[in-house]
Amino acid sequence: MIDAHAHLKSVPADGDGWIVPGVDAASEALAATLVADPRVSAAVGLHPWHLPADAQSLDVALAEVVATCDRRAVIAIGETGLDRGRRGGPMELQRRAFRRQLALAAARDLPVILHVVRTHGACMEAAKQAGVRGMVHDFGGPVEVVRGWVDAGFFLSVSPRGLNRPAAIRAIPGERLLIETDDEGPERLREVCVETARIRGVDPADIAAITAANARRLFGL
């Protein structure tokens, strides 16, 4: 199985692969050490919860994201996105960071890892305008937005928190389905796989194989 979005602190002894997103400078430094294990692939990005407090500082942080792309191999840009929840920062800064990271992904021909909270319409429109592909991690949107994301070229990832949305899980086409653990701990990936299989009425081995193949296809692994 491949964990499509894992905030690892260290590399587990057992497992096939992990995609480690970037959220801030500290996470980038950690990812640079984790990728010494060939089972780990890393992205680089600025999470909407971890943006600097002003536009000038944000521009400096975004320049470092670009520099990281130049220094080492990354498989995606993100996680980035928009968050209208309790923890999201000022929307003006979120939109500035999001647009710049979408443009970087388009310029480097890299997929994006999206964090989307109460902003599916805005994020989807921005992604389509930028002409990028990628994944919506920890998908928690309504069933009605599944088709829009799929038509926009995106994969949708089920996390432990998303297991309480069976209708949405059933609506995701198999060729666009991913599984992840987010910040819940990589040991929970098997649980996500088994429960996703139960909801979709298939064998867990099928979910493991399909989602691993999808992750390899999306991220070029």
Q: What is the pLDDT of residues 202-218, one digit of tens each?
A: 999 999 999 999 999 99
- Nearest-5° angle of CA 40, CA 133, CA 205? 50
Percentage with pLDDT > 90 across the chain: 86
Q: Model confidence at 31, in pLDDT bands (50, 70, 90)?
A: confident
How far, CA to CA in Å, does 84 sit from each of 17, 58, 76, 142, 176?
A: 31, 19, 23, 16, 25
What are the CA-CA distances from residue 17 to residues 45, 63, 139, 164 (Å)?
20, 29, 20, 25
Instruction: Domains for the chain: give ranges and CATH numbers.
Output: 2-219 (3.20.20.140)
Taking the CA atoms of the chain, what radius of gyration do you get in angstroms?
Answer: 16
Per-position DSSP letters for 116-162, written without gaps between them: EES-HHHHHHHHHHHT--EEESS----GGGHHHHHHTTEEEEE-GGG
User: pLDDT value at position 28?
Assistant: 80
Tell me the C-alpha distance between 80 and 68, whole Å.
Answer: 15
Structural contact between residues 193 and 207, judged by C-beta atoms closer than 8 angstroms? yes
pLDDT at 113 over 90: yes
DSSP reduced 3-state for 82: strand
